[in-house]
Structure formats: structure tokens, C-alpha cells
């Protein structure tokens, strides 16, 4: 098994270095090959996703990705901005399903933005469609508004679009995931207003017929945003489109205390995937040994489970993360008043120590 390791920008190299060590510890036979991506690749090769990196990702069984982006690239044309590397990898690898678990560890209940009784025990999974929707819809562009009260004024437009097969395959992913969890899917759309959402709702309902053991409910996105903070534990699996999923998954992230705790998996039809923390490159923390590496370590666990077929190693990593939290280790983002924060490397070393001790006993 080969893993392409793409650290990227900002805190990417620090958190990926730690996660790669953890991966090597639990799965020593997995071959890790490093590549450049994002702003780091632009600086070296003049492109955020050089052909060598793309080839490496295509040849690998899975990709471990750090984060890309920095304000210093803001003036570049859109096609050369670091974030384009992510879109390029998703498209080239056909990664259409983004799985984002939002789990609140009992040790971190106080770090959540909500009261403990509302979030305690939270364990939800957001399944976000990744290759369609307004981010990729055509036509898009700028023009002079042809009509309406602002006719003749400059305007910009993007088109939200979904095809039936795109909705079918993401619905299957959500229903299958729910079968392994609490057997409930909430499909989130805006079918009261949007034509593409009406199609979404029809197709998800049709696919549901093949999963009689799973309960399906439909919810408008505005209500879903509200319910996520009112009664988040009423959800099990949420399936939604690219734009709504982008927003709702960040909202869910905050329920768990810190975006520094949340892993994600992006999968294609063959089970090949890219695994990355939900957060960005946090340029404010770069090079300071202050970033929380746990989201990236937990992404490596998801990689073992979903792409490398080693659920046992995945569980070992997840248990080690729980153990270091139980021991009281906290990076600054999850530390509370009076708690001493440890750095990125020290948190990683603590996870490695737990794995080592466990191997000895
Ligand atoms: P961000 O996620 O990088 O940071 C948001 C906040 O969370 C910051 O205060 C940061 O310090 C904190 N944070 C993030 N990760 C953390 C961690 N592991 N430990 C502790 N704190 C952490 O989002 P942003 O500030 O909006 O964006 C910064 C850059 O990242 C931008 O260039 C953006 O385009 C890019 N970005 C990249 C990705 C990606 O690579 N997948 C995702 C989102 C944003």
C-alpha cells in the first residue's frame, strides 16, 4: 500500500509530520511518499498542483493531505491560488463523497460552544457531495444585468446544478454509512425554492427504497442550521450538497469544541480517498508548534479504515487519541482557563507513547 503525503502550507507540514509518524507506527508496511502542493508547490514549480504531485496522488492508494493557503497568495489569479490544488485533486481522483464525523469527546465537553446537556455524547456524520453544485456549475461569469431593477449594472453569477447520477451515488454512501450507525439519514436541501434541490429530494427518496432499515427525513437547510445548534443529537447521518455541506460541516465542527479535532475523508467510487483535517492552513499558527495535530492524526485513522482496509489500526489510533485527552493533554485550542497547553510535537509524541505502551502490554 502506498500513501501520497502532501503537507501543503501554513501548519500543514507540522501536523502532517506528526500524523505520518503515527501512521508509520501503526502500519509500518505502508509506504509514504511526500509531494508538494498548494502555495509551497507554487513557490517551487509555479503551480499549486504540479503534474508530479498529481501523478503521485493517482498512483497512491490514498492521500494524506495537510492544508493549503496563505494570505500572501491572495493576489494570484484564481487558477494559481493554493486552494485550486484541492479542487484539482478532488476532480482528478473523482472524490465525490466527503465524510466528516463530528464527535464530542467527553473530556472536551467544556470546550463546546453549547451547554453540556445539549452536546454530551454527540456523534454525527456529515456526508457532503463534493464534485457538483454551485462550485462547478456552468454557466458562470460576469456581465451587465440584462433586466430587473438593476439592469445594466455589473453582476456576477454561478449556477447551482446537480444530475441524477451524482445525487444517486452520494445517497447510497449516506444510506450505507447509516446502516453501520444509528440508521437515520437527514437529507438537507432547499427544495421549497431551488429546482436542483427538488431533484435532490426526489432522487434521495427513490434511493431510500433500497434501504428499508434506514429512516429518512428531509429538512430545509435553514432549519438544519438551526437544529444543529438547538438539538444536534437528533441527527445521525446528514447528507447534503456541496455548498450546504460546506457551511453545515463547519457549524457542526464548532459543536465539538475545536476545528482542530475534526478529520475528514473524501472518497471515490473505488474506495480510494484523500484524508485531511477539516481546518485550513491557519497561517496565524504556522511554525509556532501551537497547532492541534489530532484532526490530522484522526484523518490517518479514517484512511486506514476506508482506504487501506485496516480497521484494527484505525481503532488503535482513535483509542490512543482518547487516552491522551483522558491524560489531560491539551493543545491551546482545546485548553481551558488554567490548563497548561502542550505543543504540536508534544501532543504527537504523547499519542506515539500510548501506542508504544499498548504494543508492549
Ligand atoms: P483556518 O481553518 O486555517 O483557521 C481558522 C481558525 O482556526 C484560526 O483561528 C486558526 O488558528 C484555527 N485553527 C485551524 N486549525 C487549527 C489547528 N489544527 N489547531 C488549532 N487551531 C486551529 O481557516 P482560515 O483562517 O479561514 O483560512 C486560512 C487559510 O487556509 C486560507 O488561505 C484558506 O483559504 C485556507 N483553507 C484551506 C483549507 C484546506 O486546505 N482544506 C480549508 C479551509 C481554509
Residue 57 has pLDDT above 90, yes or no: yes
pLDDT at residue 306 is higher than 80:
yes
Render pLDDT for 205-238 as a digit per residue (tens, 0 to 9).
Answer: 999 999 999 999 999 999 999 999 999 999 999 9
Give residue-wise pLDDT tens across range 23-39.
999 999 999 999 999 99
Same domain for 12 and 53, yes or no, is: yes
Q: Assess whether 248 and 273 both reside in one domain.
A: no
Nearest 5°: the CA angle 325, 275, 66 is 80
DSSP 287: T
Q: How many domains is the chain partitioned into structurally?
A: 2
Provide φ and ψ at 266, rounded to 5°.
Answer: -120, 120
Closest C-alpha to 226, from 203, 204, 250, 248: 248
Residue 137 sits in the same domain as residue 218: yes
113 part of a folded domain: no
Q: Which residues contact 22 (CB under 8 A, 6 or more apart)?
A: 297, 300, 317, 320, 348, 351, 352, 355
Band of residue 254 on the pLDDT scale cut at 50, 70, 90: confident
171 found inside a domain: yes
**Gap from CA of 70 to ligand 1 centroid (Å):** 9
In a domain, 348, yes or no: yes
Lowest mean pLDDT among 104-113, 282-291, 293-302, 324-333: 104-113
- Kindly state the cell numbers that stand for 309: 482496509
- Output the nine-digit C-alpha cell for 267: 472518497
Query: Residue 339 has what pLDDT?
Result: 81
Q: Whose CA is nearest to atom 1 of ligand 1?
A: 280
Strand (E) or helix (H) holding 8: strand 2-8
Question: Are 272 and 183 in the same domain?
Answer: no
Q: How far is CA 221 from the centre of its chain?
A: 19
Specify the CATH number for the domain of residue 145: 3.40.718.10
Task: Please give the mean pLDDT across all residues of the chain.
Answer: 95
Range of the domain at 204: 123-255
> What is the mean pLDDT of the segment spanning 240-251?
94
Q: Quick one: angle between helices 195-208 and 164-179, nearest 10?
A: 50
Q: 299 and 243 share a domain? A: no
Alpha helices in the chain (DSSP H): 12-26, 39-45, 51-59, 84-93, 116-119, 164-179, 195-208, 221-230, 242-255, 294-306, 311-326, 344-360
Taking the C-alpha atoms of residue 140 and residue 278, their distance in angstroms, rounded to an integer, is: 27
> Global pTM?
0.89
Point out the ligand 1 atom lying closest to the alpha carbon of residue 73.
Answer: 32
Distances (CA, A) of 260 to 132, 184, 191: 27, 27, 33
In a domain, 115, yes or no: no
Angstrom distance (rounded) from CA 149 to CA 134? 24
Name the domain boundary from 198, 228, 255. Answer: 255
Q: Which residues line ligand 1 (CB under 6 A)?
A: 11, 67-70, 83, 86, 259-260, 276, 279-285, 291-292, 295, 333
Residues 277 and 360 in one domain: yes
Q: Is residue 350 part of a domain?
A: yes
Q: Please, what is the Cα angle at 14 between 8 and 15, to 5 degrees? A: 85
For ligand 1, mutation pick of 7, 68, 280 (most atoms within 8 Å of CB): 280
Q: Is 16 in the same domain as 89?
A: yes
- The partner residues of 114 in beta bridges, in order of sequence, read none
Amino acid at each position: 500500500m502506498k500513501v501520497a503525503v502532501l503537507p501543503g502550507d501554513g501548519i500543514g507540514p507540522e501536523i502532517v509530520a506528526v500524523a505520518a509518524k503515527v501512521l508509520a507506527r501503526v502500519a509500518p508496511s505502508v509506504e509514504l511518499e511526500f509531494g508538494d502542493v498548494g502555495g509551497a508547490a507554487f513557490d517551487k514549480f509555479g503551480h499549486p498542483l504540479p503534474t508530479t504531485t498529481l501523478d503521485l496522488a493517482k498512483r497512491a492508494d490514498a492521500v494524506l493531505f495537510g492544508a493549503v493557503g496563505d494570505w500572501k497568495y491572495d493576489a494570484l489569479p484564481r487558477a494559481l491560488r493554493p486552494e485550486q490544488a484541492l479542487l484539482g485533486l478532488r476532480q482528478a481522483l473523482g472524490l465525490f463523497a466527503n465524510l466528516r464525523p463530528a464527535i464530542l469527546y467527553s473530556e472536551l465537553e467544556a470546550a463546546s460552544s453549547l451547554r453540556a446537556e445539549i452536546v454530551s455524547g454527540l456523534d454525527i456524520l456529515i456526508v457532503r457531495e463534493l464534485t457538483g453544485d454551485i462550485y462547478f456549475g456552468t454557466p458562470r461569469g460576469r456581465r451587465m444585468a440584462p433586466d430587473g431593477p438593476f439592469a445594466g449594472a455589473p453582476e456576477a453569477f454561478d449556477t447551482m446544478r446537480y444530475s441524477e447520477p451524482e445525487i444517486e451515488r452520494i445517497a447510497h454512501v449516506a444510506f450505507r454509512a447509516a446502516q453501520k450507525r444509528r440508521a437515520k439519514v437527514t437529507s438537507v436541501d432547499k427544495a421549497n425554492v431551488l429546482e436542483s434541490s427538488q431533484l435532490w429530494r426526489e432522487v434521495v427518496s427513490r434511493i431510500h427504497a433500497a434501504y428499508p432499515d434506514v429512516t429518512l427525513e428531509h429538512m430545509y437547510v435553514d432549519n438544519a442550521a438551526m437544529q444543529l445548534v438547538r438539538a444536534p443529537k437528533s441527527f445521525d447521518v446528514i447528507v447534503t450538497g456541496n455548498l450546504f455541506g460546506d457551511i453545515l460541516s463547519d457549524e457542526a465542527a464548532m459543536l465539538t469544541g475545536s476545528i482542530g479535532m475534526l478529520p475528514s475523508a473524501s472518497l471515490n467510487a473505488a474506495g480510494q480517498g484523500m484524508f485531511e483535517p477539516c481546518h485550513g492552513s491557519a497561517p496565524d499558527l504556522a511554525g509556532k508548534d501551537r497547532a492541534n495535530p489530532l484532526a490530522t492524526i484522526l484523518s490517518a485513522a479514517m484512511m486506514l479504515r476506508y482506504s487501506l482496509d485496516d480497521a484494527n489500526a484505525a481503532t488503535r489510533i482513535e483509542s490512543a487519541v482518547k487516552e491522551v485527552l483522558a491524560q489531560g493533554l491539551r493543545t491551546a485550542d482545546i485548553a481551558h482557563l488554567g490548563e497548561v497547553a502542550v505543543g504540536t510535537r508534544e501532543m504527537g509524541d504523547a499519542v506515539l507513547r500510548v501506542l508504544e505502551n499498548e504494543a508492549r502490554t
